[in-house]
Structure 1
């Protein structure tokens, strides 16, 4: 395509936005409202997924070492555990360190036990895949000199089930919202093009090719999607910035944290812009097909 022809298409697409003011406004408004919902829900789902990941990654296995095990046996047990292919973050904790944790968590009443510490030496292990925690615990429980292996049996399985259900439900909801966005934006753009069907028919009757007729409308659809994504990107960025600024300080030092403002907001912004432009162009392309059959 010649540069002059392409330049003409760009000019025509811009002019059409102005000539069809109310339809342009309606299209941009639909895109704006829909993408705001998509953006907000995308931020919520991203943070919920992070929350689920943080909870899963905090699950660990606590191995209490048999009192009969000496230093040599403890080293051998630790070496066996480290050789397992599906574990990570292996930490040894002496009975004195265990008592300090108890005193920190439950108060100074347990200081009296410093003279006669009843606790055992322990090893803390995390599975590379948190969903495999139970299987890893069963393997370790078979090793010699393991007095007890704790990982929250029963509760952990229920937790993982709830988290997986939440993820699947969130995925279904976001797919449904995206499909709704496509439907609303597509139908609005289709209405815009339907109102200009006479213009398309005249262009075809005077000999214009399908591509010559289609390109300005495709560009117009892209502009509608782009302009309609400006406000959602701004709203979502400002909203998340303020939420992050007000909530994050209260979560400092806690397990559960919000996703960082950057790069998340740039990723969501890019998604909204791409979604608006692609749906705008796709809506124009599909809506024009029957009007080009003359």
Structure 2
């Protein structure tokens, strides 16, 4: 059994060399198709990842009234520093709401610093007492679907001035994320199916061009399994060799895109899929897909000549 396998393996390598341009054509088709598959699947998977990140970053901003010092344990009253009886009243009310995972305080000074970093130095005219912003609590929900519910409940809390959750934009964002996840995966599946079709037909052409060789082997009494073996291995070689260039492109291309694009995403709490996780899995998948497609293409094409 082992000796037969190595004999078939050697024969498949000889066939690749003997068929010259047909081998090059088949490998080229595999390369082009798997490259497109690699690019498309990489884009779709990262779009899904970013969609999830965007959903998870949708938060409820709860602004307190100007006269409410909810995060201060003491207040100045009539020139004296006294205990603040309303300390964390809004905070505790927010924490007690259903579906609230985390509540973080953001002072108007912190918000002002972020605003000036984003909008530029011209906003520095509002420093100090001129700061028009309000203290706020950033509320993270246990799931993005609870944002609207928590927002409506937070508006009823005493001491709250305004609540922002993105409104219609948030709903559109969730719809877009669901659209990308659903149709992105469907699109990736269709492209892989197309890749199987194109590669299988290219390999079939290489086998049809050698129909006389197969007929001669049958006439001298060779069994179907013996005839099929080298062709299955040859198809696997075509898939393996065809996946080499797409694998290299994925390795260098994805790392380069990650380094250039991810910098602008990190500041928004977004991120592409880590190359250390994505690249090895993607390259391995391309090689496995190429080998499977090549073998299946050869197996299907052989049915015509072996009359299985």
- Seen in structure 2, the aligned counterparts of structure 1 residues 161 and 72 have a Cα distance that, compared at 3 Å, is closer
Partner Cα separation in structure 1 for residue 88 and residue 48 of structure 2: 43
Contact 2:34-2:246 at 8 Å conserved across structures: yes
2:102 alignment counterpart: 89
Partner Cα separation in structure 1 for residue 100 and residue 290 of structure 2: 43
Partner Cα separation in structure 2 for residue 122 and residue 203 of structure 1: 82
Contact 1:90-1:124 at 8 Å conserved across structures: yes
- Seen in structure 2, the aligned counterparts of structure 1 residues 19 and 99 have a Cα distance that, compared at 3 Å, is same
- Seen in structure 2, the aligned counterparts of structure 1 residues 139 and 207 have a Cα distance that, compared at 3 Å, is farther
1:110 alignment counterpart: 126
The two structures, once aligned, show a CA RMSD in angstroms of 2.8
- Seen in structure 2, the aligned counterparts of structure 1 residues 250 and 145 have a Cα distance that, compared at 3 Å, is closer
1:22-37 map, 5 Å:
22-37=21-36
1:19 alignment counterpart: 18
- Seen in structure 2, the aligned counterparts of structure 1 residues 27 and 150 have a Cα distance that, compared at 3 Å, is same
**Deviation sequence 1:131-151 (CA, Å, 0-9, x none):** 442234335456666554320
**Deviation sequence 1:181-220 (CA, Å, 0-9, x none):** 1111010011111122222233333333332222221111
SS at match of 2:41: helix
SS at match of 2:222: coil
Contact 2:207-2:302 at 8 Å conserved across structures: yes
Q: Which runs of 5 or more residues in structure 2 are unaligned?
A: 71-85, 117-122
2:241 alignment counterpart: 227
Structure showing the higher helix proportion among its residues: 1
- Seen in structure 2, the aligned counterparts of structure 1 residues 152 and 243 have a Cα distance that, compared at 3 Å, is closer
1:243-258 map, 5 Å:
243-249=257-263, 253-258=267-272
Partner Cα separation in structure 2 for residue 238 and residue 180 of structure 1: 25
**CA deviation after TM superposition for structure 1 residue 269, in Å:** 0.8
**CA deviation after TM superposition for structure 1 residue 103, in Å:** 4.9
Contact 1:200-1:291 at 8 Å conserved across structures: yes
SS at match of 1:268: helix
2:60 alignment counterpart: 61
TM-score, normalisation: structure 2: 0.80
Contact 1:38-1:177 at 8 Å conserved across structures: yes
**Deviation sequence 1:2-27 (CA, Å, 0-9, x none):** 22222212121112111212211111
Contact 1:103-1:109 at 8 Å conserved across structures: no
**Deviation sequence 1:11-61 (CA, Å, 0-9, x none):** 211121112122111110110111111112222223322332232222101
Partner Cα separation in structure 2 for residue 212 and residue 39 of structure 1: 35
- Seen in structure 2, the aligned counterparts of structure 1 residues 290 and 104 have a Cα distance that, compared at 3 Å, is closer
SS at match of 1:162: helix
Q: Which runs of 5 or more residues in structure 1 are unaligned?
A: none
TM-score, normalisation: structure 1: 0.84
**CA deviation after TM superposition for structure 1 residue 62, in Å:** 1.7
